Amino acid sequence: MGSQGTGDQVSITTRGLVSMVILLLHIRLTDGAAPVQLVDIQISDDIITCSSTGIYPEPKLTWSTDPPSDLSPDNGTSQKSTSTKVNSQGLYDIISTKPYTGNQTNICTVTYGTREKTTSLRQQDLPVTCIFSEECVLPCSYQPGKDEIIHWVKLDNIRVHSYYYSKDQLEQQDQQYKQRTALFNNQILEGNASLLLSNVTVQDQGRYKCYTSTIKGNQESFINIIVEAPVRLVDIQISNDIITCSSTGIYPEPKLTWSTDPPSDLSPDNGTSQTTTSTKVNSQGLYDITSTKPYTGNQTNICTVTCGTREKTATLQTKKNAKGKHKMVECMLLQRVM
């Protein structure tokens, strides 16, 4: 079956032309029926287009959504438009457009004779948060069927992982994913196309497409990977009447704020006057942050490092009865996840 590589070669942008060519190459006339090789679905400017070419006998095309929309105003022909034409070989090309409807999965079914092929598109990206250097599962599922093809692609066109002919196909895998990807092989036949990505890097961030295909049809869904390296440790130190607060290996870019207990309303170091904060990026793309400020007498000094929705606080307390200049009593660490 020469069509196994199809989804692989066809990017969403250039697909129309390429798929036509491929279809012409692979059309086989069996039992007087030309099989539907590919049902292509695309979105642009809030219009979804579903098309398939080189079919016989004359196909029908229907739209549905998941979850189904009962009150669908586009039940009739109101907002859809479908057209069929016959090519020079006497085969049918069918194309249909309809307005893009929000969050649903849009499903296009092409029926010819007694057979049907469906293709579905979940446009809404599923956001997945992956933790730097850890493992992460990119979920994807499909309706089980024979001749499974799975392609994980990072958009626009970086090959992450492929599977067909009942095995992983990693010859074309991009270098940056080498030895870091795996499918759940014992669950593929049940429709599990989820990808396990290990040792997550900052560069893994971005949009991924899961393309699956079986004899029953093909399907695309999108995942948006967000990488986080949470604040692990906030260090606070005092030397020569300067307090230094620092934290390393954070992603995305952290913020650092100072406060005191009791609060100092008239605090002169509200602005940038006396505190200096600097951020730098290390070789792995993670942020290191450091801030200094003059040591202020009896108060408890609190340094808070925030990254995304998580924050970590380091506190420096001083004892009033200290004989020396200032004794550090405690460095307290607490994490608050909001």
Residues that bind ligand NAG (CB under 6 A): 75, 102-103, 137, 139, 141, 184, 187, 192, 194, 199, 201, 266-267, 270, 297-298, 320
Which residue lies nearer to ligand NAG by CB, 13 or 276? Answer: 276
Q: What end-to-end distance do the CA atoms of the chain give, in Å? A: 53
* Smallest gap from residue 154 Cβ to ligand NAG (A): 16
* Smallest gap from residue 113 Cβ to ligand NAG (A): 21
- Residue 90, classed as helix, strand or coil, is coil
| Residues in CB range of 45: below 8 A, 6 or more apart | none
* Smallest gap from residue 1 Cβ to ligand NAG (A): 26
* Smallest gap from residue 192 Cβ to ligand NAG (A): 4
147 beta partners: none
Which residue lies nearer to ligand NAG by CB, 11 or 267? Answer: 267
CA distances from 262 to 129, 238, 266 (A): 37, 19, 12
Which residue lies nearer to ligand NAG by CB, 114 or 272? Answer: 272
* Smallest gap from residue 39 Cβ to ligand NAG (A): 20
* Smallest gap from residue 104 Cβ to ligand NAG (A): 8
CA distances from 25 to 1, 105, 226 (A): 12, 30, 40
* Smallest gap from residue 101 Cβ to ligand NAG (A): 7
Which residue lies nearer to ligand NAG by CB, 15 or 154? Answer: 154
Which residue lies nearer to ligand NAG by CB, 75 or 278? Answer: 75
Which residue lies nearer to ligand NAG by CB, 18 or 328? Answer: 328
* Smallest gap from residue 103 Cβ to ligand NAG (A): 4
Which residue lies nearer to ligand NAG by CB, 88 or 175? Answer: 175
DSSP 236: E
CA distances from 53 to 50, 113, 314 (A): 11, 15, 64
User: In whole angstroms, what is the distance from residue 170 CA to residue 183 CA?
Assistant: 12
Instruction: Determine phi and psi for 104, rounding to 5 degrees.
Output: -75, 165
- Residue 207, classed as helix, strand or coil, is strand
What dihedral do alpha carbons 152, 159, 134, 285 form, nearest 10°? -130
**At CA 44, angle to CA 192 and CA 7, rounded to 5?**
40
Nearest residue to ligand NAG by CB is 297
The DSSP annotation for 162-189 comes to EEETTEE--TT--GGGTTTEEE-GGGGG
Which residue lies nearer to ligand NAG by CB, 83 or 199? Answer: 199
